[in-house]
Amino acid sequence: MNTSVALLQSSQVGLHKSLMVGMGYSVNVGNNVTFSVGKTMKENTGQTAVYSAGEHLELCCGKARLVLTKDGSIFLNGTHIHLEGESDVNGDSPVINWNCGATQLYRMRLCRKIYPPECRICGQF
């Protein structure tokens, strides 16, 4: 079966909708996709899940935020950040700065460069 719609298609389901595909499923959208879920959204992948974005990727929950940018920067923001490794927690870099304000300066430069006039990462500008 092939369905072609020229302008607009809408459907409403009162209670439950299910879709089962035997081998593959592909969706191609020209501009934007929005999902709105009232309570819980779950995704299960048997082997590998890959999420890719051209400019930046954000994962947000309340005041916690993880942002990956195309230049390789990673921002982890939250009211409390806990790192726990059952065996090891490793960090390697030519320079490691703690409590020096460097994250604030870099974040402000990044916001001005990538996200004018408002910056979703730091809530400034």
100-122, pLDDT tens digit by residue? Answer: 776 666 666 655 555 544 445 55
pLDDT, residue 93, reads 87
**Which amino acid is it at 90?**
N
Tens digits of residue pLDDT in 27-84: 999 999 999 999 999 999 999 999 999 999 999 898 898 989 999 989 898 899 888 8
Taking residue 75's Cβ as centre, other Cβ atoms within 10 Å add up to: 17
Place of tokens 């990673």: 74
Rounded mean pLDDT, 5-22: 93
What are the sequence ranges of the domains in the chain? 52-78+98-125
Measured distance CA(4)–CA(10) in Å, rounded: 13
Note the pLDDT of residue 89: 86
Q: Look at residue 87 and tell me whether its pLDDT is greater than 50.
A: yes
pLDDT on residue 91: 86
Residue 26: strand, helix, or coil: coil
Tell me the pairing of strands 64-69 and 56-61.
Answer: antiparallel
Give the number of residues written for the chain: 125
Indicate the pLDDT class of residue 90, thresholds 50, 70 and 90.
confident
Q: Give φ, ψ of 56 to 5 degrees.
A: -155, 155
Determine the Cα angle at 34 with ends 65 and 22, to 5°: 110
pTM to 2 decimals? 0.70
